[in-house]
Amino acid sequence: MSDATDPWLIVGLGNPGPDYAANRHNVGFMVADLLATRIGGKFKRAQKAQAQVVEGRMGPPGPASRRVILVKPMSYMNLSGGPVTALRDFYKVPTDHVVAVHDELDVDYGMLRLKLGGGDNGHNGLKSMTKAMGPDYHRVRFGIGRPPGRMQVADFVLKDFSSTERKELEFLVDRSADSVECLLAEGLERAQSTYNS
């Protein structure tokens, strides 16, 4: 069982490279980038895994401060489990101190859902993580909604946010980062009651 002194591994899920940077599927990277800015760090290549990492502290100074490792797997979405598990083991992070931030089709655009454990709902990043280390990690699910008309899911998630969506995107990424900080500082129930919409 984890305790308050254990570090947290915050995993933004996405695909590496400029072609994917603004895709719906990369919203996890966007949140991770913002959190890195907030803790005053820059992503660097991890020595122990195919990933970029930032180490730092989150929350108010003193005993409430949490040691965090922010992670962006560089393995492509469907292979995220390998780098995440390698880093979890290297930093000795309990699985319930792992947080995956990811896009979610079954939640309307702009809505957030935080939870611990559960299925992968067809999300290849979660599928890979769960296969590698089991389902008992936290998720911050960033709603992107369902594809319009007959558009295939794969095409939808690998497209950039629409111009209408982009008007709110910065605010929503900011809110998602807030929800991660709340989860670490105040626990899942408080984060859910504040941010689940």
Among the listed residues 25, 97, 102, 123, the single catalytic one is: 25
The contacts of residue 138 (CB under 8 Å, 6+ apart) are 96, 98, 99, 100, 114, 115, 116, 183, 188
Rounded CA-CA distance 135/152 in Å is: 27
Contact 116, 137 (CB under 8 A): yes
Cα 62 to Cα 94: distance, rounded to the nearest angstrom: 22
Could you give the dihedral angle defined by the CA atoms of residues 21, 26, 31 and 35, in that order, rounded to the nearest 10 degrees?
Answer: -60
Quote the CA–CA distance of 111 and 176 in Å, as a whole number.
9
25 carries an active-site annotation: yes
Give me 156's structure tokens: 């939808």
DSSP bridge partners of 66: 58
Catalytic residues: 25
